[in-house]
């Protein structure tokens, strides 16, 4: 797995390494009753579906700048300006650079989220009481290491542009890692972070249909992530209804706070800073403009039906989601009914139009 790292990842304010203290119980399961068939069959599926980063064709020449330049000179820039309504009209070169940076930013946050998933699932192996869940989580740990490897290689060997972890995402990952309750680790990682990633991966595929390497990477990772989200739903099923009112309330608080952090992480302040734009003005644009709002809302299309399935779309969560404009997804299929992670039809239409196709 040796590859040239042309551009090392920029570092966040916390520096090269960040220690997060977690107080948690590590649990042995001496019973090994291995009764949960759904988890065991997911474990078998996970092992059978393992792939290697070397299965990808790394000899593909990736030149996103050239690809986007052609697109932006052929009319995408007018569409970009018309649909996104930026604070001022962007030239074709600026539009192309902004689009390229948005893609690099998105892929970089995928990388950081993958590292979060690697650590969170290692923590689940230790914390979760049942052996079946430990087995599957261990399989997921290996998946996540591979995802980190592949995104890192794509960003540093192929793309030549990358971003440090977004502060809001970092806060959320820190919370997930430091929480002592194993179900909150699952809720934060498998349901919230991975649920959002599953919807976002579909967007990358739609934006770059003519880049075969990222298509192959994304298809493989999406198939793994669909299993990971299903693992969360199957593991947590029936759990919250057994909790006391106050325990459930704590989970509601966590869900609402995590949702706000994830929404804020999608404002892309880091991109405006890198572009030399007025960050406050552009962030305000990102908050208000209908395209950006719609794009952020659609990334919650997997999370909302999964929370419903877990019985956590409670009146308080519904109220918060109504305000955020994401309750509209409550009747979509959850990740156990519909493992095919297709982005919502409206999003497909928007992105296809934006690409000028
Ligand atoms: Fe992953
Ligand atoms: Fe995952």
Q: How many A from CA of 342 to the centre of ligand 2?
A: 16
Q: How many A from CA of 270 to the centre of ligand 2?
A: 24
Q: How many A from CA of 224 to the centre of ligand 2?
A: 7
Q: How many A from CA of 140 to the centre of ligand 1?
A: 8
Q: How many A from CA of 338 to the centre of ligand 2?
A: 17
Is residue 40 included in any domain, yes or no?
no
CA 266 to chain centre: 11
Q: How many A from CA of 245 to the centre of ligand 2?
A: 30
Is residue 245 included in any domain, yes or no?
yes
pLDDT score recorded for residue 333: 86
Is residue 249 included in any domain, yes or no?
yes
CATH number, domain with residue 329: 1.20.1260.10
Cα–Cα distance for residue pair 163/274, rounded to 1 Å: 9
pLDDT score recorded for residue 2: 86
Q: How many A from CA of 260 to the centre of ligand 2?
A: 21
Q: How many A from CA of 184 to the centre of ligand 2?
A: 16
Q: How many A from CA of 232 to the centre of ligand 1?
A: 13
Is residue 137 included in any domain, yes or no?
yes
Is residue 81 included in any domain, yes or no?
yes
Q: How many A from CA of 326 to the centre of ligand 1?
A: 24
Ligand nearest to the CA of 226: 2
Burial pattern 230-245, b for ≥16 Cβ within 10 A else e, equals: bbbbbbbeeebeeeee
With beta carbons less than 8 A apart as the criterion, state whether 155 and 9 touch.
Answer: yes
Q: How many A from CA of 125 to the centre of ligand 2?
A: 14
Residue 290 lies in domain: 63-354
Ligand nearest to the CA of 220: 1
**Could you please report the per-residue DSSP string of 41-94?**
HHHHHHHHT---GGGS-TTS---HHHHHHHHIIIIIHHHHHHHH--SSPPPHHH
Q: How many A from CA of 65 to the centre of ligand 2?
A: 29
Helix, strand and coil in the chain, % to nearest 5: 70, 0, 30
Q: How many A from CA of 225 to the centre of ligand 2?
A: 5
Per-residue pLDDT of the chain (357 residues; tens, 9 = 90+): 789 888 889 999 999 999 999 889 999 999 999 999 999 999 999 999 999 999 999 999 999 999 999 888 888 888 888 888 899 999 999 999 999 999 999 999 999 999 999 999 999 999 999 999 999 999 999 999 999 999 999 999 999 899 999 999 999 999 999 999 999 999 999 999 988 888 888 888 888 999 999 999 999 999 999 899 889 999 999 999 999 999 999 999 999 999 998 888 889 999 999 999 999 999 999 998 888 888 888 889 889 999 999 999 999 999 999 999 899 989 888 887 776 656 667 667 777 777 765
| Structural domains counted in the chain | 1
Q: How many A from CA of 4 to the centre of ligand 2?
A: 26
Q: How many A from CA of 223 to the centre of ligand 1?
A: 10
What global pTM score does this model have?
Answer: 0.93
């Amino acid at each position: 797995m040796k590859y040239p790292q042309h551009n090392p990842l920029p570092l966040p304010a916390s520096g090269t390494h960040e220690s997060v203290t977690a107080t948690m119980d590590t649990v042995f399961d001496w019973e090994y009753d291995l009764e949960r068939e759904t988890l065991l069959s997911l474990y078998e599926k996970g092992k059978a579906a393992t792939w290697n980063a070397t299965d990808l064709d790394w000899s593909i020449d990736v030149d996103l700048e050239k690809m986007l330049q052609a697109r932006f000179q052929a009319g995408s820039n007018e569409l970009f300006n018309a649909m996104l309504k930026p604070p001022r009209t962007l030239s074709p070169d600026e539009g192309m650079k902004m689009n390229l940076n948005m893609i690099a930013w998105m892929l970089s946050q995928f990388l950081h989220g993958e590292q979060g998933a690697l650590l969170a699932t290692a923590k689940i192996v230790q914390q979760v009481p049942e052996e079946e869940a430990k087995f599957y989580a261990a399989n997921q740990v290996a998946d996540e290491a591979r995802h980190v490897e592949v995104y890192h290689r794509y960003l540093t060997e192929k793309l030549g542009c990358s971003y440090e972890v977004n502060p809001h995402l970092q806060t959320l990952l820190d919370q997930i890692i430091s929480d002592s309750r194993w179900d909150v680790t699952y809720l934060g990682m498998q349901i919230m972070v991975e649920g959002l990633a599953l919807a976002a991966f579909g967007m990358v595929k739609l934006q770059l249909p003519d880049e075969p390497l990222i298509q192959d990477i994304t298809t493989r990772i999406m198939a793994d992530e669909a299993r990971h989200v299903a693992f969360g739903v199957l593991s947590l099923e029936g759990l919250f209804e057994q909790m006391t009112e106050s325990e459930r309330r704590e989970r509601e608080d966590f869900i609402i706070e995590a949702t706000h952090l994830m929404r804020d992480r999608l404002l892309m302040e880091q991109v405006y800073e890198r572009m030399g734009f007025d960050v406050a003005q552009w962030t305000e644009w990102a908050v208000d403009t209908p395209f950006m709002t719609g794009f952020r809302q659609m990334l919650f299309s997997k999370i909302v039906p999964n929370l419903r399935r877990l019985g956590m779309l409670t009146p308080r969560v519904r109220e918060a989601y109504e305000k955020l404009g994401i309750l509209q997804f409550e009747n979509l299929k959850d990740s156990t009914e519909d493992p095919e992670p297709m982005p919502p039809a409206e999003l497909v239409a928007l992105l296809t139009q934006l690409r000028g196709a």
